[in-house]
Amino acid sequence: MTNEIAISSQALVKRFTGQARTVTAVDSLSFEVKHGETFGLIGPDGAGKSTTTRLILGLLRRDGGASSVLGYDSMRDVYEIRERTGYIAQQFALPGDMTVLENMRFFADLHGIPRKQQKSSIAELLKFAGLTEFSARPAGRLSGGMKKKLALACSLIHRPQVVLMDEPTLGVDPVTRREFWNLLGNLRAEQGLAIFVCTPYMDEAERCNQVGLIYKGRLIAQGTPASIKKMVPGHLLEFKPDQFVHARELVTGMAGVLELQTYGAMLHVFVDEIQRRQGEIEQALSAQSITWSGMRVIQPRMEEAFISLVKRQEAVDEG
Amino acid sequence: MRVDPMKATIEVGATTEAPATDPVIAEELTKRFGEFTAVDRVSFRIHPGEVFGWLGPNGAGKTTTIRMLLGLIRPTSGNLNVLGYDPVKQTKTMQAHVGYMSQLFTLYNDLTARENIRFYGKVYGLNRSALAQRQQEIVQMAGLEGREDMLTANLSGGWKQRLALGCAIVHNPRVVFLDEPTAGVDAISRREFWGLIYAMAKKGTTILVTTHYMDEAELCQRVGFINQGRLVAAGTPDELKQTHMRGQVLEIDTPEPDRTVRVLKEAQAQGRMPFDEVALYGAQIHVVVPDAEGNRQPIRTLLEKENIPVTAIEWILPTLEDVFISTVRDPAK
């Protein structure tokens, strides 16, 4: 059971035809999500994350390839999928004038869950989401974080085996984000749910078992967060120069510098060899009377890897 | 010559006498909506050319504070001073020197990028030649060359965000308030945006920015944490890590993070382990304990008894996210 494929996408294609040109929003995308696994689809704005989600759910018509959920074809078996899948859209709407409890009942009714059964499962989900004491509050008067948790609870009312979420924690504070991910962790670990999540948060990508990097509709990297981080060559040096622009230009052209990223007022420099290059960089900065602070070697995170991989792809595309 | 903003904080912070020139000063600022106190006796100062992070959970009072600073709503009590002006009494004069980018970028989708800039320029009363110059500067700053005549609706998130910033600073304000400017924008655009923030600060613009990204907060020179309307901590990120973290942070590396969290939380719930917090942090687990050295071995023993392999348990410096959660969860401290 645990190794069964919950979501499958094989060479999936979606094109949007406008007046002037046709855009391939999803370009031959292939991946699989197993039960008990969290798959994170990450990519820049407009890369095709939401479109992919909608294709998998059968909300959009594909132009090529295949996709399925629990073995059901996304286009043919829409209702079978809907009965077994939870979905939180990026802009979900919970009726604001209905209370938390009424919202839950509303979604339960939509899914045809008998009233008798509703009682216990709603109570259970409200407890799970930490919303029990807010049952009587209108959804419109919940905080942003609580709304997200309510959306999650509503999407689970029919006990789905698969949940798809499109940027579920957008605009949510760190405390609530942590709580939300703990809830997801419980769902995955205790109930073996397959979770598919689109996110712009790189630290959330690190919490996934598998990650797909999508860029211009294509998957440019796929694997565990650890394996993706290993795709970035070299070592990472961080420092804060006092003359930022000057330092950036100076370091860019130096031997052994593989890549340069900026991070606020700091520079992140990927080099082939730490000891040697750190010394050379320090010398070069001093020679130009540029001072710096906080020179140190850091481990690349998902974010540095992501930026590096996307930039490399951009360079390939531009030839 | 202007002082390097990266150093200005430290220099200014080191003098006990607060400089009279601080462009943003809030003293005992309070706002009540009926029974509800949204902002509760908040005092802080932002130094010239500083990037100040204004952080807190949803509903903590961040946006309400900004609206009062902008003179959009009137404080119930307390004093405000922005660039020497009183935002309540000298609203219009002050607003001519202040920029504001709201959570929802208020751009006109059916105007082109250039038209949006021109629109905002005219709202701020720029004359023809000033506008022409600013338009060019903003297009360049936002990297919008070649996209000037695209409909704003068709710009992707990162472009829109930079255009919104451009419109907010079309009148060359000396103070800029940015309310969650990077929400929903991808990592690459976020970095570019922070590059712009620092470029502005370098030129002497003072910036207040709110964000839910704690890695962005680490980039601020000073931050203030607001929770339930109260300012619970303020200082440089490094200072807060030293002064406002309850307990110490152990980072656990294991191939089985989910199970580890469950086992540790169980031990916490049953009172077998003195944890303040157990949470997944990226692929690792952060545990907040009273005594990192002393608690390390018992944790290892506990996990190994459950057949969970432990790659490493390390005592680490807290991240700003750890501090945020510790401060916000336990404001009573």
Domain boundaries, chain B: 5-242, 246-317
Give B-chain residues touching A307 at CB under 8 angstroms.
187-188, 191
- In this prediction, residues A47-64 reach a mean pLDDT of 94
The CATH fold of domain B246-317: Alpha-Beta Plaits (3.30.70)
For the record, the structure tokens of A294 come out as 């906080």
Per DSSP, the residues of A93-113 read ---TTSBHHHHHHHHHHHTT-
First and final CA of chain A: distance in angstroms? 45
List every span in chain A annotated with CATH 3.40.50.300: 5-227
Strand B206-210 and strand B175-179: the pairing is parallel
Q: How confident is the model at residue B332 (pLDDT cuts 50, 70, 90)?
A: very low
Distance between CA atoms of residues B35 and A187, nearest Å:
39
Task: State residue B12's pLDDT score.
Answer: 35
Task: State residue A62's pLDDT score.
Answer: 96
> Which of B202-206, B278-282, B310-314 comes out lowest in average pLDDT?
B278-282
Cβ distance B324 to A174 less than 8 Å, yes or no, reads yes
- In this prediction, residues B197-211 reach a mean pLDDT of 93
CB atoms near residue A98 (< 10 Å): 15
Please give, rounded to a whole number of angstroms, the shortest distance from the CA of A158 to a CA of chain B: 24
In CATH, which of 3.90.1170.50, 3.40.228.10, 3.40.50.300, 3.30.499.10 is domain A5-227? 3.40.50.300
Cβ distance B261 to A182 less than 8 Å, yes or no, reads yes
For the record, the structure tokens of B305 come out as 């008894």
Is A127 within 8 Å of A106 (Cβ atoms)?
Answer: no
Q: How confident is the model at residue B330 (pLDDT cuts 50, 70, 90)?
A: low
First and final CA of chain B: distance in angstroms? 43
Q: How many CA atoms within 13 Å lie on the side-chain side of B95?
A: 16
Cβ distance A203 to B157 less than 8 Å, yes or no, reads no
Task: State residue B16's pLDDT score.
Answer: 42
- In this prediction, residues B241-269 reach a mean pLDDT of 89
List every span in chain A annotated with CATH 3.30.70.100: 233-299
Q: What is the CA radius of gyration of chain A?
A: 23
Please give, rounded to a whole number of angstroms, the shortest distance from the CA of B127 to a CA of chain A: 31
DSSP A193: -
Task: State residue A94's pLDDT score.
Answer: 86
What percent of chain B stands above pLDDT 90? Answer: 59
3-state helix, strand, coil in chain B (%, to 5): 40, 25, 35
Global confidence as pTM: 0.81
Task: State residue A3's pLDDT score.
Answer: 55
> Which of A69-78, A177-186, B22-31, B68-77 comes out lowest in average pLDDT?
A177-186
Residue carrying structure tokens 């109570």: A123
Apex B317 CA angle, B311 and B322, nearest 5: 95
What percent of chain B stands above pLDDT 70? Answer: 92
Which amino acid type is present at position A125?
A: L
Give A-chain residues touching B219 at CB under 8 angstroms.
263-266
* Main-chain dihedrals φ then ψ at residue B17, nearest 5 degrees: -80, 120
Which amino acid type is present at position A169?
A: T
Q: How confident is the model at residue B11 (pLDDT cuts 50, 70, 90)?
A: very low
Decide: helix, strand or coil at residue A166.
Answer: strand
Please give, rounded to a whole number of angstroms, the shortest distance from the CA of A231 to a CA of chain B: 17
Is B205 within 8 Å of B173 (Cβ atoms)?
Answer: yes
- In this prediction, residues A234-239 reach a mean pLDDT of 92
pLDDT for B6 beyond 50: no
pLDDT for A240-294, tens place per residue? 898 888 899 899 989 999 999 988 778 999 999 999 999 999 999 999 999 998 8
pLDDT for B292-309, tens place per residue? 999 999 999 999 999 999
pLDDT for A196 beyond 90: yes
Residue in B258, B265, B288 to test binding to A, most A beta-carbons within 10 Å: B258
B333/B330: higher pLDDT: B330
Helix and strand element counts for chain A (H, E): 11, 14
Q: Give the length of chain B.
A: 333
Torsion of CA B222, B211, B233, A134, to 10 degrees: 180
Give A-chain residues touching B185 at CB under 8 angstroms.
45, 200
> A220-258 burial, b for 16+ CB within 10 Å, e for fewer?
bbbeebeebbeebebbbbbbbbbbbeebeebbeeeeebe
pLDDT for B333 beyond 80: no
In CATH, which of 1.20.1440.230, 3.40.250.10, 3.30.70.100, 1.10.10.10 is domain A233-299? 3.30.70.100
Task: State residue A255's pLDDT score.
Answer: 93
Residue carrying structure tokens 């150093």: B7
Q: Give the length of chain A.
A: 319
Residue carrying structure tokens 């859209």: A89
Please determine, for the modelled complex, whether the ipTM score is greater than 0.85: no
What percent of chain A stands above pLDDT 70? Answer: 99
Residue among A144, A185, A206 minimizing CB distance to B258 = A185
pLDDT for B9 beyond 60: no
Cβ distance B259 to A189 less than 8 Å, yes or no, reads yes
pLDDT for B223 beyond 50: yes
Cβ distance B219 to A172 less than 8 Å, yes or no, reads no
The CATH fold of domain B5-242: Rossmann fold (3.40.50)
pLDDT for B260 beyond 80: yes
For the record, the structure tokens of B38 come out as 């949204």
Task: State residue A299's pLDDT score.
Answer: 83
Per DSSP, the residues of B146-210 read T-TTSBGGGS-HHHHHHHHHHHHTTT--SEEEEESTTTT--HHHHHHHHHHHHHHHHTT-EEEEE
Task: State residue A44's pLDDT score.
Answer: 80
